[in-house]
Structure 1
Amino acid sequence: MQVEKRVSELVEEKIADRPDLFLVDVKMLPNNKLIIHVDGDQGISIQDCVAISRHVGFHLEEENAIETAYNLEVSSPGVGEPLRLLRQYAKNIGRELGLKLASGDKKEGKLVEVNENAITIEEQIKEKGKKVQLVSSQIALNDITETKVLISFK
């Protein structure tokens, strides 16, 4: 969709001087809600979201890029949102992840390492009658269909 492409360009333009920030996703929903997810290596502030929203909104109005009324929402991806970018994996090192693999398998473990082709997680494996063992597994990014950060309330 053209609108999403233009919005991506506007966001990239706005954050060009902020190497710590990165665009995750732009979605125009059927109900005319335009959602922009931006994140940062150390998170993103409300002020940054407001500045991006103003920049994008101003230019979209100026260019009359969207014919109908729309809602513009700029935020960081929510806790339940799957990870999409390598930079999101990097900022979540040390956290527990839930993975769905192309094979249909599911894995859970602590993210310990990330490179451009794979991630390494430490899984707690419990075999009957034995102590829990920490097993390190390297998983190719191509084999992962979905990754979510697991939130613990312990």
Structure 2
Amino acid sequence: MSGQSADTQQEAERLRNYLEPTVASHDLHLEEVEVRATADQRTVHVVVDRREGTEGVDLDSLAEVSRSLSEAMDADPGDRGAAYDLEVSSFGVGRPLTEPRHWRRNVGRLVKVNLIGEENIAGRLVEATEDGIVVVPDLPVKKGMKPKQGAPLALGFDRVRRGTVDVDFTRPEEPDAHTPQIDHEEEEA
């Protein structure tokens, strides 16, 4: 909401409070409401996310919540009558990790952690609680060498400015549980 005027920030906060129950009725979480206004038109951008323990936000879910939000906006008693365009989306891979639930959802993934007053780190997120995270940092290696991991590092959220998920192109080293195992013992005739 950084580029918004005071009026559009107030409108965004009012709409956030008004639209939150509608989003929650779809078992989604309302992440953000942004209002951009011109003289005769406003754009209301709503970002939703899945709740913890549920699957991701698919296109059908976005379409359903978009219809419900449009109906709610049309019936908004606090509306000043200005026309609006409604945009509904969900965050992609590059979304910032700013809330404990964002971190919990990404345990096991590679992350970049922006620390307050310290050097940033990258590594595998192995734990996330209400108070902080544990990351196994990647150690610097020569180009072309396999990355090495350091000792797990516990970071309280008071030290973390934000984080992002880093796209991971590596394959897991564990065998696939769905691969059938071949029994090499000979059968007795």
- Which range, TM-score by smaller chain? 0.7 to 0.9
Unmatched 5+ residue regions in structure 2? 1-8, 171-189
What aligned pairs does 1:3-152 form with structure 2 within 5 A after superposition?
3-17=11-25, 19=27, 21-30=28-37, 32-40=42-50, 41=52, 42-63=55-76, 65=79, 67-126=81-140, 132-152=148-168
Matched residues in 2 for 1:54 and 1:127: separation?
51
TM-score normalised over the length of structure 2: 0.68
Larger relative contact order (C-alpha < 8 A, sep ≥ 6)? 1
Among the aligned pairs, what percent are the same residue? 26
Question: 1:11·1:52 contact (CA, 8 Å) conserved in 2?
Answer: no
- Work out the CA distance in 2 between the residues paired with 1:16 and 1:153: 34
Q: Which whole-Å CA distance do the structure 2 matches of 1:123 and 1:33 have between them? A: 41
Deviation at 1:47, TM superposition (A): 2.2
Aligned equivalents of 1:148, 1:133: Cα separation in 2: 19
**Runs of at least 4 residues off by over 6 Å:** none
What's the offset of the Cα at 1:143?
Answer: 1.5
Aligned length: 151
TM-score, length-normalised on structure 1? 0.81
Query: 1:4, 1:28 within 8 Å by CA — same for their partners in 2?
Result: yes
* Offset at residue 16 of structure 1 (A): 3.5
Q: What is the rounded CA distance, in whole Å, between the counterparts of 1:61 and 1:133 in structure 2?
A: 53
Tell me the CA shift for residue 77 of structure 1.
Answer: 0.9
Return the index of the structure with the highest Cα Rg. 2
More off after superposition, 53-62 vs 102-111: 53-62
